[in-house]
A and B are shown apart, each in its own frame.
Chain A
Amino acid sequence: MTAARPTPALDGPASAALLRAGRFFTRWEESDDGRAVYRSGGRAGDVFYRDRWSHDKVVRSTHGVNCTGSCSWKVYVKDGIITWETQQTDYPSVGPDRPEYEPRGCPRGAAFSWYTYSPTRVRYPYVRGVLLEMYREARTRLGDPVAAWHEITTDPDKRRRYQSARGKGGLVRASWGEAVEIAAAAHVHTIKEYGPDRVAGFSPIPAMSMVSHCVGTRFIQLIGGVMTSFYDWYADLPVASPQVFGDQTDVPESGDWWDATYLMMWGSNVPVTRTPDAHWMAEVRYRGTKVVTVSPDYADNTKFADEWMPAQAGTDAALAMAMGHVLLKEFFVDREVDFFTDYVRTYSDLPFLVRLDPPDKAYAAASGDAGSAALVAGKFLTAADLADSGAVVPDEDAWKTVLLDRATGEPVVPNGSMGFRYADSGKGRWNLDLEGVRPALTMAGDGAEGATVENVEVLLPAFVEPDGTGSVLRRGVPARRVGGHLVTTVYDLMLAQYGVSRQGLPGSWPNGYDDVTAPYTPAWQAEITGVPAEQCIRVAREFATNSEQSQGRSMIIMGAGICQWFHGDATYRAILSLLVLTGCMGRNGGGWAHYVGQEKCRPITGWISLANALDWGRPPRTMTGTSYWYMHTDQWRNDGYSADSLNSPLARGHLAGKHTADTIAQSARMGWMPFYPQFGANPLQVAEDAQAAVDAGTAASPAAYVAGALHDGSLTSAIEDVDAPENWPRTLVLWRSNLMGSSAKGNEYFLRNLLGTHHNVMGSENPNAPRPSEVKWHDEAPEGKLDLLLSADFRMTSTTLLSDIVLPAATWYEKHDLSSTDMHPFVHAFTPAIDPPWEAKSDFELFHLLAEKLSELARTHLGVRKDLVSVPLMHDTPGETAQPGGRAVDWRATGQPGTPGRTMPVFQVVERDYTAISEKLATVGPLADSLGFTVKNVTYRVEEEVARLAATNGVMLGGAGDGRPAIDTDEKMAEAILTFSGTTNGRLAVQGFRTLEERVGKKLADLAEGSEEKHVTFADTQSAPVAVITSPEWSGSETGGRRYAPFTVNIERLKPFHTLTGRMHFYLDHDWMQDLGEALPIYRPPLDMHRLFGEPKLGPDGSKQVTVRYLTPHSKWSIHSEYQDNLLMLSLSRGGPTVWMSPQDAGSIDVLDNDWVECLNTNGVLVGRAIVSPRMPEGVVYVHHAQERTIDVPKSEATGRRGGIHNSVTRLLVKPTHLIGGYAQLSYTFNYLGPTGNQRDMVSTVRKRAQEVTY
């Protein structure tokens, strides 16, 4: 193209000549026209950067808590100094036709090494000066640490002095010896004076540093303390998962996104919250996968979407219900897709029979329906219901659900329900094999000719009003009489619920998709969500069509944006229904992909057994965090509503008049959920009293003694007077966690009531709010319950600022540990790049020091004691078949004592040798061999493993652990975790499968056979990430190199889900579920905080403030609170707390970008700078999660005090249905089921404040 013109030159001829002359004296090679300078060889100028790059070694490690990444990193070290980090790229390949996991990591992880030498590093142990002074004085005077601690904490003045100083500076250096002595004394004192269940520990997310988590938890459990949960507490637990699947959560690894051919991201902002995995989502588009996002804002992931469904915050279930409406109508009723109907017949509860009952009398009377024939859905029909009257019915029959054989019209009790799981009669029959029976999905026209079908009207609850009040829909179902009971199927109820009409059914039905008034049509949802009806219909069709074409490869990535609402479980069930109906669950490339913080600890058996010290004593004390903090921080005293306000109009009164605190007390009393402290008395004393009663012959067993004492009132439940000083939690140890700067919903109540220091609580208790009837009300709320707050960290956080003792922790680059995740199938190691600098020590060392000191002090103060431990009816144990029919029967209401393990908790006596805690901490105890380790009701026999570990690790000599395998270093504990887990020890995986085969009666062991010899060692994980072995510890399979997807074993091998029917549940018939109107998938609007708490109504109010939804999504610049104080992250963002606002909301209060604003409500205040952006919808602000009060937070105008953290504006709201227990999948396990610490329903008033701020 240049041929037609003369050779172009630079500048003009004159200057060219001049330059040539100028360069006469210099020597360099240049292009002919003098444009370019080239040089090669001997490049002295290059030396600077070459030096900069040089380093001495590269060490494999990762980042240890609160992030699902589990990314393996290279840590570079030069001259003994950590310089920087880059990602490892040596993950095992996932196959030739797929992208790989390399590299994994994000900017936050890449900024980690900044902490090592940063000015916020905790270098030495610190104790609050006022406390230390008093302690030293008392210690010298009294000569005994425990006596000194007793004096300080029981003298009201001294107590006040150090408690009110919390969070306000004045930390002074102490030695490790002194700091540990104070901590040990506090623990010994608490155990002795109040009981071990007044000792608490909190450390979340074990998967990300199993050893660190394990050692501290083990310490707490050995002394009988309480570990509070995190998964439910964080509201990351989708309660819908236990409800629907009977499983905590199990999800595909991100590599399985690659298998999806239709991918929705619903409330999950993958590039921000799953940064190292997001590439799979970007890449799978190139395979022709359509990507759809649902989010209220133009989120980061929307950039990748083909379509964006901008559903308004909190209304997602309305959209999902309408999509379900389209799907049921077009793919089930108008045209039956065999792929879908075959699937739901085998794997879901849709064909199971449900009894139809008359509605509650009170409702019928009030509604004028008394004379009507309308019915309501009741309980599942069970084999017990079919028995002839007078016949002896085995207990398990009440747990066997029933369906109709389509060919014969006869009722059939298929294999696989809960009645087959534990009973001897169920051996070999706990499976999903229908044995040739084709279940009838509907009572109408499906099944034997000649059966009498009755078309009956049913009443269904609905919650369509924005204020959340309920109403009743009248729709119809076909029904038949079976064994004298009028029944219909779950499928028929589903069509009625979704408003999909069929000919001849009574009731009122939508007129079509465009019927705006009838729930749950596309047009109806458009009014609520703002998503156009056409788009809803189109996406629903595409979703189902894709599944039909691809055999279930439609996937929905679900996230915190929809999970963390008060009614998040309802939303999730509405979305999961789309996946179950289209046969997507248990498929590679299909089903749910819930990614909200669960972080799978793949070597689970080793970790959980050692963490809970099950090798030395059982059971452990584990506690649902949400109810623990709700009660102990006295947020219950500030609750504005009773459980009634959540009820369905059709409720039968189980929750009538109950305050939320009452429901928690009742749940604990009935053995549903745990509560600690257990009793108004020290459990060490209770154990003694029980033994005395047994010895005296007045009680058959310690448990019977407790049941009797609770009945006659000589023993009380602690929760019934939770504010009495003897029932306060007294010590709290925090490691790998930042409770006060991150997860503490209702943060300001923590400060006021738990810690007794300054706070920003804005409201006062509402004298008109309902008060509990079962929990004693003290006119004055206690302030300062906790005697000791101890934290270990490597950086200063809101928690360390508040702590009485701060211990300098080693960073993730300074110790040995293990990491795994649900996002990838590998286990890999932490390796110290340097020794902990200054006086830092690893958590492992810390707890060993603490245990040693405690054991020493125990010789004088505790000795060997018996402890009476109360635990609820547990999921995956026979305890989950304690309360048939899901009937909420309160023993107290019967006038009789409860039955331990049936109508009330299990009470068990555990011996605790407090002088041997450190010896037990360092060795694997004898119960490992004698009882084995049980996970999900599969027992792993580990005698061989114990022997091998003794050989590998050596044994300890002398003391309680004499001759037992040593786990006295972090490396040895890592080895033990790997050795005791099926995922990392093929022999155990195979043995576990063989054990399971006996119950299931189907072939399973082949999934791990061939891996018997595979034993992943800690050294293996240090050299490269290692892929895990398929094991019954989880529900999916990696066998043959496939990507992990959950429930593939259930689907492919007919192994039941751990639910009542053994199938995935659409219908939940527990009394409390029905009373809340949530027996079926449903839409519930966000809580109306105006109605419930008297907060202002949403929108501008004409003054310079605007009330908005206050959402706390995760930040691009931090992992929870970590990194939000990191200078690199701050330099790449706005450098401090921010509030993302829409231009409309900002404009209504004259706020410009970067103006200071305050967000406030009755709970507290947050001060931050506004980011005004058009990507935000009106009426919503984003205050990104875990923005702490440590960085650039000025004083608030509203209170004159330091502004709060993001959770200063939130509070705890407990949903009663999350407290259900003792009933199949609705049974407690730690982090499996429990009330969520949800926070998304909050509203806040945003004000522009003076722009000159003070600190």
Chain B
Amino acid sequence: MRVMAQMGMVMNLDKCIGCHTCSVTCKQAWTNRAGTEYVWFNNVETRPGQGYPRRYEDQETWKGGWTLTRRGSLKLKAGGRVQKLLGIFASPVQPQLADYYEPWTYDYQTLIEAPLGDDFPVARPKSLITGENTKITWSANWDDNLGGASEMGHLDPIVAKLNASVRRESEEKVRFELEKTFMFYLPRICEHCLNPSCMASCPSGAIYKREEDGIVLVDQDRCRGWRQCITGCPYKKIYFNHKSGKAEKCTFCYPRVEVGLPTVCSETCVGRLRYLGLFLYDADRVTAAAATPQEGDLYEAQLDLLLDPEDPEVVAAARRDGIPDDWMDAARRSPVYALAKTYRVALPLHPEYRTMPMVWYVPPLSPIVDVLSSQGHDAEDRTVLFGAIDALRIPVDYLAELFTAGRSDIITGVLQKLAAMRAYMRDVSLGRDGDPAIPEAVGMSEESLYEMYRLMAIAKYADRY
């Protein structure tokens, strides 16, 4: 066992309002400069949707993350590292500007300076790349709120996969019709993976994981702009600064984190859905966990890596490995550990990429589909509410493709815990005794359900970070 500390984040998608404040505060603080116009360390995607850059999840095209060799070893999907080393001068597989968008500005000056003419002056769009007049055809968030989804929704790689797998009449495809509409938001930053494929892709060794907190950084001095990392990252969270010629990525706001401030995206999240905290993990077992044969087992394998900071053996090993006591405290108070490991309601994004991502997500509940149902899926009746998980608009299979490599049973389990929390707390809010059968039904105690409620609902500043 080699104990290492890792800063992690949990985002409760059930609370995300899709406002993009995180994107803006992040961009203002970090990337509103020449060369990074199109760079959004933090972005928010409407799902179903193509994401940013477009269809980044389609690893058959983009070759991000890891895969297993026939012998069960991990291998970069873009090819073995020797292959990459030998091919660094060739253009790697990576999204082009069109897959992001061509950043633009407007001829604002004309509003003030236009000479007297015959009509209102207007600020036309101008490309920030060419400086020429341009027509806007894509943006950093083009398909926000299902914009264009009737024409483009099928391009969501998950929708494509789900619909391709529909074989029988009885199974339903994801349809883009008003009556069937569902959506939710997926805010994304760098995953600060335990097994980062960007780092493994870098021929210069410029990408490193900070020993003390696991934050993955690009050394701006060492980076040679090979852009292999962009290919390597399956989340496409490394960007190429076209002015400096270096790769840049989310830094987990280390200058803030180091002085005890939350990341900008977390502190400014008005949905109050982001949690920051420390994980302890066993660095010796990362490779093995990442090489778990069945994709469906990867979530459990990743969870397995997380060490219990209360466990005396872990405490001893941590002391041996140089983790300071106050860090151990932080690990014990860690809300991300509580949500991911203790309550098991937070899930990793695309565990099948085998990078062991350290940004976790609580999946969203959604409205019921069938408004005609006369028996009602009332929060007051927990049995009905539990039954209703299948009747929610967001298909469980869709969430499973995002968070559990297809294991819908895990998703259902998490959603049932959320539903149980609501059912249990309804009695409490109305001044009645809580029903112990409710937590029991989802394998929790009354105390733990209540603690989870406080962490997710009340979520004081000091409890979130």
Contacts and interface: CB of A to CB of B under 8 A. Distances in A.
Interface in B157-212: 176-178, 180-181, 183-185, 195-196, 199-200, 205-212
Given A298-B181, A300-B17, A49 B254 contact: yes
A278 B270 contact: yes
Contact of A1132 (B141, B267, B287): B141
A311 to B, nearest CB: 11
Contacts of B256: 53
A851 B271 CA distance: 45
Interface stretch (B90-98, B311-319, B423-431): B423-431
B119 A168 contact: yes
B442 interface: no
B368 interface: yes
Contacts of B377: 306-307
Interface string A535-575: 10010001000000110000000000000000000000000
B114 A169 contact: yes
B125 interface: yes
Interface in A769-822: 796, 798, 801
B195 A36 contact: yes
A111 B20 CA distance: 11
Interface string A1-19: 1100101111110110011
Contacts of B268: 86-87, 103, 105, 110
Task: Output the residue of B85, B210, B270 with the most chain A CB within 10 A.
Answer: B270
Contact of B74 (A8, A110, A278): A8
A363 interface: no
A549 B82 CA distance: 69
A286 B122 contact: no
A982 to B, nearest CB: 31
Interface in A156-198: 165, 167-171
Given A33-B287, A46-B217, A1174-B150, A120 B123 contact: yes
Given A1-B297, A10-B74, A97 B458 contact: yes
B29 A84 contact: yes
Nearest to A51: B255
A1176 B72 contact: no
Nearest to B270: A276
A52 interface: yes
A35 interface: yes
A1192 B25 contact: no
A927 to B, nearest CB: 43
Given A106-B270, A286-B457, A303-B184, A1172 B148 contact: yes
A288 B178 contact: no
B356 to A, nearest CB: 10
A11 B151 contact: no
Given A49-B30, A286-B457, A287-B425, A310 B371 contact: yes
B15 interface: yes
A1125 B105 CA distance: 10
A9 B200 CA distance: 13
Chain A interface size band reads 35 or more
A290 interface: yes
B288 interface: yes
Contact of A168 (B73, B112, B120, B458): B120
Contacts of A114: 28
A10 B200 CA distance: 10
A36 B19 contact: no
Interface stretch (A24-32, A462-470, A986-994): A24-32
Contact of A796 (B69, B111, B195, B424): B111
Contacts of A1172: 147-148, 150-151
A169 B117 contact: yes
A791 B378 CA distance: 53
B1 interface: no
A1131 interface: yes
Contacts of A275: 17, 19, 21, 270
Contact of A758 (B109, B119, B148, B424): B119
Contact of A49 (B25, B136, B251): B251
A1102 interface: no
A767 interface: no
Chain B interface size band reads 35 or more
A856 interface: no
B142 interface: yes
Given A288-B422, A305-B367, A1134-B142, A113 B125 contact: no
A1191 B120 contact: no
A7 B458 CA distance: 44
B130 interface: no
B139 A1135 contact: yes
Given A11-B81, A167-B120, A1173-B150, A534 B374 contact: yes
Interface stretch (B53-61, B218-226, B330-338, B398-406): B218-226
A45 B256 CA distance: 16
B50 interface: no
B304 interface: yes
A878 to B, nearest CB: 46
Contacts of A479: none
A283 B212 contact: no
Contacts of A1171: 147-148
A165 B116 contact: yes
A233 interface: no
B152 interface: yes
A1198 interface: no
Contact of A285 (B137, B176, B422): B422
Given A107-B19, A1135-B139, A290 B145 contact: no
A1197 interface: no
A1140 B148 CA distance: 9
Given A48-B220, A275-B19, A170 B271 contact: no
A128 B121 CA distance: 14
Nearest to B288: A2
A1128 B254 contact: no
A1133 interface: yes
Contact of A307 (B24, B184, B371): B371
A331 interface: no
A302 B367 contact: yes
B57 to A, nearest CB: 20
Nearest to A297: B178
Contacts of B17: 271, 275, 278-279, 282, 300
Given A168-B116, A1175-B181, A1134 B19 contact: no
B286 A271 contact: no
Task: Output the residue of B17, B106, B149, B300 with the most chain A CB within 10 A.
Answer: B17
A1250 interface: no
Interface string B351-382: 00000000000001111100111101111100
Given A12-B73, A168-B117, A287-B457, A279 B195 contact: no
Nearest to A36: B209
Given A40-B210, A271-B17, 7 more contacts: A11-B73, A38-B209, A44-B219, A45-B208, A110-B25, A1136-B136, A1143-B151
25 contacts: A1-B300, A8-B72, A9-B287, A12-B73, A15-B82, A23-B205, A38-B209, A86-B268, A87-B267, A104-B270, A120-B108, A168-B114, A168-B121, A170-B117, A275-B270, A283-B272, A286-B456, A303-B18, A306-B368, A534-B373, A1128-B32, A1132-B23, A1134-B147, A1154-B148, A1175-B178
Which 8 pairs across A and B sit closest by C-beta, in order of nearness?
A288-B426, A170-B116, A45-B219, A169-B114, A271-B17, A84-B28, A286-B457, A2-B288
Interface of A: 1-2, 5, 7-12, 14-15, 18-19, 22-23, 26, 28-29, 31-33, 35-40, 43-50, 52-54, 83-87, 89, 97-100, 102-107, 110-111, 113-114, 118-120, 122, 126, 128-130, 165, 167-171, 261, 271, 275-276, 278-279, 282-290, 293, 297-298, 300, 302-303, 305-310, 531-532, 534-535, 538, 542, 549-550, 758, 796, 798, 801, 1116, 1125, 1127-1128, 1130-1136, 1140, 1142-1143, 1152-1154, 1169, 1171-1178, 1189-1195, 1201-1202, 1255
